[in-house]
Amino acid sequence: MKQEIKHTDKNADTGAYSAGVLKNGMLFISGQGPLDLATGEVKHGTIEEETLLTLEHVKKVVEAAGGTIDDIMKCTVHLEDINDFDRYDAAYGSFFTGIRPARTTVQSVLSDGIKIEIDAIAIIG
């Protein structure tokens, strides 16, 4: 089956990668962060605000591929400060109303002063 590239917004493309790549029903979503999709600028906020905005971007990539958040099977989450874990986890948990995806969370050095980055794998169809 042909590989398809999925984009959400031209301003979200900040590097030499695709927002998502879909092949044989598997969608691989590149790391998303708290960007203003209208301007491409980082939207700094609390860890809760950045978490929910970042998850909205993941959701938009899934929807661009014809899926829903229920199709997300796995997320890898990078936190700038692991001490934010409990607050991020509460916001993350409020986003998913059905079965929550499998998840790995690690502390990472992130660019542009963002607090969180999330990549994901979804199965569409």
- Residues forming beta bridges with residue 106, ordered by sequence position: 78
Question: Which residue type, as a one-letter code, is found at position 51?
Answer: T
- State pTM to two decimals: 0.91
Residue from 2, 52, 7, 53 nearest 29 by CA? 7
Pair 57, 83: CB distance under 8 Å: no
Write down the mean pLDDT value for the chain: 90
The alpha-helical segments, DSSP class H, found in 40-97 are 47-64, 85-95
Residue from 61, 14, 62 nearest 35 by CA? 14
Cα 65 off chain centre by? 14
- Residues forming beta bridges with residue 89, ordered by sequence position: none
Residue from 25, 108, 114, 88 nearest 6 by CA? 25
Q: What is the pLDDT of residue 11?
A: 45
Pairing label, strands 72-79, 102-107: parallel
For the stretch 81-91, pLDDT in tens is 999 999 999 99
Please tell me whether residue 39 adopts helix, strand or coil conformation.
Answer: coil
Domains and CATH numbers, the chain: 4-123 (3.30.1330.40)
Residue from 87, 85, 9, 5 nearest 48 by CA? 87
For the stretch 39-72, pLDDT in tens is 889 999 999 999 999 999 999 999 999 999 999 9
* Span 115-120, average pLDDT: 98
